Structure 1
Amino acid sequence: MELPAAIILFVIFTAVIGIAGTRLSKTADQFADLTGLGEALVGGVLIGSIDSLAGTITSITAAYQNHPELAISNALGGILAQTTFLALADISYKKANLEHAAASYPNLMQGTLLIIMLSFILLVTFAPELSVGGTNPASILMIIGYIFGVRMIWKAGKRAMWVPKSTASTVEDLVLYVEGRNLNKRRVAIKFFILAAIVAFSGFVVAETGIVIAAETKLSETIVGGLFTGVATALPELIITFTAVRQGALTLAVSNIIGGNTFDVLCVAFSDIAYLNGSIYHVLARAQLLIIAMTLMQVSILVMGLLDREKHGIAGIGWESFLIIVLFAGGYTIVFFS
């Protein structure tokens, strides 16, 4: 694809993401209420995994074409970008710190699951290299662990063994939509998955055109994957999160980011399966390990922010949002000049 065509398609499908993502946010809130699944589960599992399809396809394609550095950097860079988007959404919410207002047990569980999965990647990287049929068995374990973790999060939401203290600034996940003549569960479900498919396809086009645009800069695959395609594939999460915040669906906004990040970690497992030259974990460069470390710090800071629940902080946002933005900017500065 020529560069001018890539730029035009990038702009067009980014606009499509903006329009469809705005509608998807409200439809997701309705779907969560009508099905009884709740904003945390719908945002963290359904929307999070759907929005991550673009990044997943990009990473799998890169790995299959023998570009493991690009595949891993794209997956992990998307997590860094999305967590930073949550900090930016915090800036847009003026009433209180977003992590204070949207604290929930499932969101904390999702954040903890994300930390475990990222740590598992490091563990496998430093373990002896194994390959069965061209795939590291750890990739299968990671997929199983994700499924088990999602099941635990679903059960946690039902049991509610831990409940955040309600304050004047807390925005709880209340049931606002009930099934009636003008709001049918089946119709809402169909609309939800159609909009989700549009967002996922548009995200894929944005990712592919982003690769073309980034390639013209002649930067390393770590920068291209971690910064350009990682941010491009994270655009659906950005649009949906900002829209959810504007509509007052704060639990949905936070869970969309954390849940999408957790699914993005699975991109590493899928990329390992697609990579034909052995274990992809054992070709990680120093820059990718740095990105994993930065991501672990970001997510840990976010979980601490959800627990601490500072009402107002630096520049009107929580201390965790401030540190997440600083870490993103400082981390990529180190990667760029190293």
Structure 2
Amino acid sequence: MFEDLSLPLLLGIFAAAAGTIWYAGIKLSDMTDVLSTRLGLGQALGGVILLAIATNLPESAITVSAAWSGNLGVAVGNILGGIAIQTVVLVILDVFGTRGGAPLTSRAASLSLALEGVLVIAVLTVAIMATQLPASLVAFHLTPGAVLITLIWVLGIWLLSRAGKGLPWHDSAGDAPDTQEKPKGHSQAAKAGGSGEGAVSTGRAGTVFGAAALVTLVAGVVLERSGDAIAGHVGMSGVLFGATVLAAATSLPEVSTGLASMKLKDYQLAVSDIFGGNAFLPVLFLLATLVSGAAVLPHAQRTDIYLAALGVVLTAVYICGLIFRSKRRWLGMGVDSLTVLVLYAAGIAGLVAIALDAPG
């Protein structure tokens, strides 16, 4: 029904859906922190999985909607493009969240965060490899690539959970010296607010979480459908739109929640939320395969593979930033953030060149 609407109306619907996702995403993240603390999940395996699913509900809704309608180009572009642009969210947090002084990666340096970055690279590498498999390798709505990505993600989360309990290093937590004063995740407990006057009850937190999840899912579908219609109106390819405008819209909650963590000086959690969400996004290929019944990754376009590689490069830059911990700032940001910003701009320029070079 969106195809018959005028462009101004479609833009209004798209903006309203994006704003709804922004607001609902903030509530979703806050209630996830409350529930993780109240239920004793915290930084444990269950808490990490709950947070990853909650922060990626917009992408999940768009993936299901696109796969159901057979628009796999938007689904793949949103997943792989989302990883690259959500990594750029760290640039925003570095510029507006640190307020001068040491850059973000210097304040958040931790071996656990470096491991999270390695997990992102691992699942993206498998996704790239799976694009070369025959499309006929489908059984029971499952493909080897999508299943392997999910298994690697589960194994990686388990290893990260073990790393969170201690590592055989001089600092058992794997944190660099002179990093943030309080342990990672302390802002979650602050949001939970204990059980005193004015605190959100566990039952209310669960109700708000469910309502925000439902609103986010519906808004995500509206965002995908109206965005696809807008792309048709302006003559923009679905994959390019999904990798840029649509991915940016679904990344709005990460910006807000990341800045909230930065305000509470929980720098490690701000970085962990981005890396954790990026590691989970390729798992949605399993969901897209189950819904569509087709092997999604073997039908990836050149632009999809290109975006996956861009996500690997951007993640690698920040892993280096976490290890080297440079104190230098250029143009109000760390050297690694500036490098990521330049690489992303060059990457999008290359993406446009690939799209223009495509036949037809």
Q: TM-score, normalised by structure 2?
A: 0.81
Name the structure 1 match of 2:177.
166
Change (3 A) 1:171 1:332: farther
Unaligned runs of 5+ residues in structure 1 are: none
More deviation in 38-47 or 140-149? Answer: 38-47
Q: Would the aligned equivalents of 2:94 and 2:103 in 1 still touch at CA under 8 Å? A: yes
Query: Per-residue displacement from partner, 1:91-121 (whole Å, max 9, x unpaired)?
Result: 1122421122223344322221111111111
Name the structure 1 match of 2:357.
none
| Alignment of structure 1 residues 186-335 onto 2, 5 Å | 186-187=202-203, 189-190=205-206, 193-194=209-210, 196-197=212-213, 198-276=215-293, 278-335=294-351
Once residues 180 and 274 of structure 1 are traced to their aligned partners in structure 2, the CA distance between those partners, rounded to angstroms, is 42
Name the structure 1 match of 2:195.
180
Q: Would the aligned equivalents of 2:21 and 2:58 in 1 still touch at CA under 8 Å? A: no
Change (3 A) 1:231 1:215: farther
Whether 1:153 aligns to 2:157 is no
Once residues 83 and 40 of structure 1 are traced to their aligned partners in structure 2, the CA distance between those partners, rounded to angstroms, is 23
| Alignment of structure 1 residues 60-209 onto 2, 5 Å | 60-93=64-97, 94=99, 95-129=101-135, 130-161=137-168, 162-167=173-178, 172-173=183-184, 174=186, 176=190, 179-182=194-197, 183=199, 186-187=202-203, 189-190=205-206, 193-194=209-210, 196-197=212-213, 198-209=215-226
CA apart distance, 1:292: 1.1
Query: Per-residue displacement from partner, 1:52-106 (whole Å, max 9, x unpaired)?
Result: 1221232233234333322211110111111111111111122421122223344
Once residues 227 and 313 of structure 2 are traced to their aligned partners in structure 1, the CA distance between those partners, rounded to angstroms, is 27
CA apart distance, 1:178: 6.5
Q: Report the residue type matching 1:143 in the other structure.
A: T
> Identity percentage over the alignment?
25
CA apart distance, 1:13: 3.6
Name the structure 2 match of 1:47.
51
| Alignment of structure 1 residues 1-80 onto 2, 5 Å | 1=2, 2=5, 3-24=7-28, 26-38=30-42, 45-80=49-84
CA apart distance, 1:142: 2.1
Q: Would the aligned equivalents of 1:82 and 1:261 in 2 still touch at CA under 8 Å? A: yes
Q: Report the residue type matching 1:323 in the other structure.
A: T
Q: Would the aligned equivalents of 1:42 and 1:252 in 2 still touch at CA under 8 Å? A: no
Change (3 A) 1:216 1:300: same
Q: Report the residue type matching 2:302 in the other structure.
A: R
Q: Would the aligned equivalents of 1:31 and 1:192 in 2 still touch at CA under 8 Å? A: no
Once residues 194 and 180 of structure 2 are traced to their aligned partners in structure 1, the CA distance between those partners, rounded to angstroms, is 28
CA apart distance, 1:191: 5.9
Q: Cα RMSD (Å) of the superposition?
A: 2.9
CA apart distance, 1:297: 0.5
Q: Report the residue type matching 2:87 in the other structure.
A: T
CA apart distance, 1:316: 3.0
CA apart distance, 1:26: 4.9
Change (3 A) 1:41 1:185: farther
Q: Secondary structure at the match of 2:177?
A: coil
Once residues 87 and 103 of structure 2 are traced to their aligned partners in structure 1, the CA distance between those partners, rounded to angstroms, is 15
CA apart distance, 1:168: 6.2
Aligned residues: 337
Q: Would the aligned equivalents of 1:51 and 1:200 in 2 still touch at CA under 8 Å? A: no
Q: Secondary structure at the match of 1:263?
A: helix
Change (3 A) 1:318 1:192: farther
Q: Would the aligned equivalents of 1:312 and 1:318 in 2 still touch at CA under 8 Å? A: yes
Q: Report the residue type matching 1:165 in the other structure.
A: A
CA apart distance, 1:151: 1.9
Q: Secondary structure at the match of 1:205?
A: helix
